[in-house]
Amino acid sequence: MDQHGKHSESHRPETEGNAEEPSIAPGGIVVGVDGSEHGQCALIWAAREAERRQLPLHVVTAYSVPIFAASGLDGGYATVDDSVIRDGAEAIVKQALEKVSGYAIDVDGSVENGDASGVLLDLSETAELLVFGTRGRGGFVGRLLGSVSSALPAHSKCPTVTVPLFCADRLGETTEDKHIKAERAKVGSRVIENVVAVGVDGSEQARVAVLEAAEQAQRMGAKLRVICAVPEYSGSLAWVPAPLDREALFKDIRVQLDAGLAWLKSHFPKLPAETQLLDGSPVEVLVEVSRSVELVVLGTRGRGGFAGMLLGSTSDGVLHHAKGPMLVVPDREDPRLADRVNFGPMLAA
């Protein structure tokens, strides 16, 4: 096992819409870096995960050459020489490889020419996991979680993990970001539980996420916590008068959560797991939970409170305000879903 890493580079010609196949097709774990503190957090988390899974790590950065409209009478366009930009990108990858050289993993890196989100989406075709930081300032992550922040979790072919700068301290990193320092001073330090939390809403996608979360909890030697959050009545339901109605609702959901836990334990009999039924906005609950657990897991395109809201209109709020790593699992078939009905009533989406 090469603990000092391997460094290979590939060049990706820029094409409209990133239609061209990527010049590399790495498996294992792919992490996007841009030289920012945010990217460093993602890099460390990805390296630790590569060790846990005993998978290779591929470090990638991407850049696009600026094109300027010519101001002369001859019209046309002018491009800048990309050598300086590429040299900078190569330096970022080299620094990243040196940073993780002490991990017992196979690691290599590449510099890709193209749109950041398009590059990662292409790489998700063959990767087992895609990892990136939030709010990066450079050409890669800065664009990646800017205007296209929902594109990667929603459209990636493999699970994605976003690692916020807020959790730098738990990864052994430091930050000079004044906003994060101010928030930490306000809320104080939190003990991080060895827990993987997964949000459920009754959708099939959420059950897929529960299975992925259980596998991740096993890898981390962590407890699994299955969370369902129920928001207050609003809008057309605001007239519902009886607290007893809500009490009955919670009782009914509890029965269904217990049935779901029994199903999960049938597939993961040795995994410590529990359910938690919370009162409140699913998005707010999710963000608060992320402060004190190792990982929060969600499915995509669920119909209910968690997943349905995650990749809908509030996706930016969830992804950008989480205080710990978040794993988003794409919708997919899983044969273990077939026997869920045998364990009792199913949570209605």
- Locate tokens 């994605």: which residue? 160
Kindly tell me if the per-residue pLDDT of 17 is higher than 70. no
Is pLDDT above 90 for 1? no
**φ and ψ of 96, to 5 deg:** -65, -40
- Residue 175 is predicted with a pLDDT of 85
Around Cβ 18, how many Cβ atoms within 10 Å?
A: 19
Q: Mean of the pLDDT values across residues 263-276?
A: 98
Residue type for 54, please? Q
Angstrom distance (rounded) from CA 145 to CA 143: 6
Residue 25: CA count within 13 A, CB half-sphere? 4
Residue tagged 């029965």 (tokens): 255
Q: Does the pLDDT of residue 303 top 60, yes or no?
A: no
Helical ranges in the chain per DSSP H: 37-53, 83-99, 116-123, 141-144, 151-155, 178-187, 204-220, 243-267, 282-289, 307-310, 315-321
Quick one: pLDDT band at residue 270, thresholds 50, 70, 90? Answer: very high
Q: What pLDDT sits at residue 243?
A: 54
Average pLDDT of span 186-197? 89
How far apart CA 83 and CA 99 sit, in angstroms, is 24
- Within 13 Å and on the Cβ side, how many CA atoms surround 125? 10
Half-sphere exposure of 36 (CA within 13 A, CB side): 22
Q: Residue 135 contacts by C-beta under 8 Å, 6 or more apart in sequence?
A: 38, 141, 142, 145, 164, 165, 320
Tens digits of residue pLDDT in 210-219: 999 999 999 9
pTM of the entire structure? Answer: 0.83
pLDDT for 96: 96
Per residue in 109-134, pLDDT (tens digit) is 999 988 888 888 999 999 999 999 87
Q: What is the pLDDT of residue 184?
A: 79
Kindly report the average pLDDT of the chain as a whole number: 80
Rounded distance between C-alpha atoms, residue 284 and residue 314, angstroms: 11
Q: Which of 19-28, 105-114, 180-189, 198-207 has the largest mean confidence?
A: 105-114
- Which candidate, 154, 177, 148, places its Cα nearest to that of 164? 177
Per-residue model confidence as pLDDT tens digits over 133-173: 876 444 444 444 444 445 688 788 999 999 988 999 999 99
Q: Flag whether pLDDT at 308 surpasses 90.
A: no
Q: Are 326 and 300 within 8 A, CB to CB?
A: no
Can you name the residues that pair with 62 across neighbouring β-strands?
112
- What is the reported pLDDT for 189? 78
Instruction: Decide if 198 contacts 224 (C-beta within 8 A).
Output: yes
**What pLDDT, on the 0 to 100 scale, is given for residue 261?**
97
Q: Which SS3 state, helix, strand or coil, does residue 86 take? A: helix
Task: Answer for the pair 41, 138: CB distance below 8 angstroms, yes or no.
Answer: no
Which whole-number Å values give the CA distances from 221 to 3, 81, 97, 147, 267, in the listed order? 24, 50, 27, 36, 16
Band of pLDDT at residue 225, cut at 50, 70 and 90: very high
| Mean pLDDT calculated for residue range 16-44 | 74
Which tens digits make up the pLDDT trace of 226-267? 999 888 765 544 445 555 578 888 999 999 999 999 999 999
